[in-house]
């Protein structure tokens, strides 16, 4: 599932290959991923326009058009955004294609749980993102302390996009494992020193994952062991526990992260 590092990778793809180039065409292969805009309007609004510098908020990719609307993409559980030379064969789950003179940007999504939106300027964009929390990579230590003031379980709080934007299952489990915190612990039970340590671990994990443009499945990371049938903790060798927190599949070490 695309999380903050993946979407930052998609932002870099758009910035490297499309900014400033003329959009020669927009091909909608499946309008099931369009949200609040039809295929005809999307093509009419974007054809012959140029993307300005894109930005990201959590799992949202925000791609403004010079002097025009803003394309907003969300990748759900299975989405991606890839550059391909024009001659490359399109894939089964390609949904929307932005055509340029030297290649194509392809929005691909198997399950179509989210999609592509077109908004008219900053005011409409703010309304769309009004319920989105601060970006996990940019949030300050003091603001992070404020966000963790509550009785909800730690894992459920950190994966709530209205609280903190960008973290999903893999990242939160990794961060909590690094911080030696049980995912079931109520956020309000943590003192300021522990919350600050959690913030530091979050930033370390995110910086490393952003470089890889994914949550890397390294053997020294929880991510690299969590899907093994008898996965063990990379730190102490204890067999990992599997359960659900807030309806999400969750992995932790019962020795390093006691409840």
Q: Which of 56, 59, 106, 226 is catalytic?
A: 59
Q: Are 201 and 193 in contact (CB under 8 A)?
A: no
Residues linked to residue 51 through DSSP beta bridges, in sequence order = 19, 65
Tokens encoding 235:
């730190």
Domain harbouring 60, CATH code: 3.20.190.10
Q: Can you say how many angstroms the Cα of residue 181 is from the centroid of all Cα atoms in its chain? A: 23
- Which comes out higher in pLDDT, residue 128 or 88? 128
Query: How distant, in Å, are the alpha carbons of 215, 216, 241, 251 from that of 212?
Result: 7, 7, 27, 22
The pLDDT tens digits of the residues spanning 34-66 come to 999 999 999 999 999 999 999 999 999 999 999
Q: Residue 259 domain-assigned?
A: no
Q: Which of 43, 112, 235, 248 is catalytic?
A: 248
List the domain range (segments joined by +) for residue 109: 4-128
The pLDDT tens digits of the residues spanning 232-259 come to 999 999 999 999 998 899 999 999 999 8
pLDDT surpasses 80 at 229? no
Is 241 a catalytic site residue?
Answer: no
pLDDT surpasses 80 at 74? yes
**Taking the CB of residue 25, how many other CB atoms lie within 10 A of it?**
13
Which pLDDT score is estimated for 88?
A: 81
Q: How far apart are the C-alpha atoms of 105 and 26, rounded to whole Å?
A: 10
Is 248 a catalytic site residue?
Answer: yes
Q: Residue 79 domain-assigned?
A: yes
Is 59 a catalytic site residue?
Answer: yes
Last residue of a domain, one of 85, 106, 128: 128
Q: Are residues 114 and 181 in the same domain?
A: no
Query: How distant, in Å, are the alpha carbons of 61, 105, 107, 178, 228 from that of 40?
Result: 22, 18, 17, 48, 46
Q: Reduce the DSSP state of residue 100 to 3 states and report it.
A: strand
Is 229 a catalytic site residue?
Answer: no
The closest alpha carbon to 169, from 59, 20, 65, belongs to 59
Domain harbouring 239, CATH code: 1.10.8.50
Q: What is the mean pLDDT of residues 12-23?
A: 97
Last residue of a domain, one of 105, 128, 151: 128
Tokens encoding 161:
């996009």
Last residue of a domain, one of 83, 99, 128: 128
């Amino acid at each position: 599932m695309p999380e903050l590092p993946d979407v930052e990778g998609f932002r870099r793809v758009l910035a490297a290959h499309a900014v400033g180039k003329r959009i020669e065409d927009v091909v909608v292969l499946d309008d099931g991923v369009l949200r609040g805009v039809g295929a005809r309007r999307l093509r009419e609004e974007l054809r012959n326009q140029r993307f300005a510098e894109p930005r990201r908020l959590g799992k949202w990719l925000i791609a403004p058009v010079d002097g025009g609307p803003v394309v907003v993409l969300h990748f759900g559980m299975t989405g991606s955004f890839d550059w391909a030379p024009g001659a490359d064969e399109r894939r089964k789950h390609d949904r929307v294609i932005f055509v340029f003179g030297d290649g194509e940007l392809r929005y691909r999504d198997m399950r179509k749980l989210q999609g592509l939106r077109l908004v008219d300027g900053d005011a409409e964009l703010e309304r769309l993102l009004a319920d989105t929390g601060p970006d996990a990579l940019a949030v300050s230590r003091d603001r992070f302390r404020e966000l963790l003031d509550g009785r909800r379980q730690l894992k459920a709080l950190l994966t709530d996009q209205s609280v903190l934007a960008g973290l999903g299952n893999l990242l939160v489990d990794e961060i909590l494992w690094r911080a030696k915190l049980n995912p079931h612990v109520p956020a309000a039970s943590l003192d300021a020193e522990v919350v600050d340590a959690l913030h530091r671990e979050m930033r370390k994990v995110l910086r490393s994952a952003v470089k890889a443009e994914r949550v890397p499945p390294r053997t020294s990371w929880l991510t690299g062991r969590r899907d093994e049938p008898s996965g063990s903790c990379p730190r102490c060798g204890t067999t990992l526990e599997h359960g659900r927190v807030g309806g999400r599949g969750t992995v932790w070490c019962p020795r390093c992260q006691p409840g």
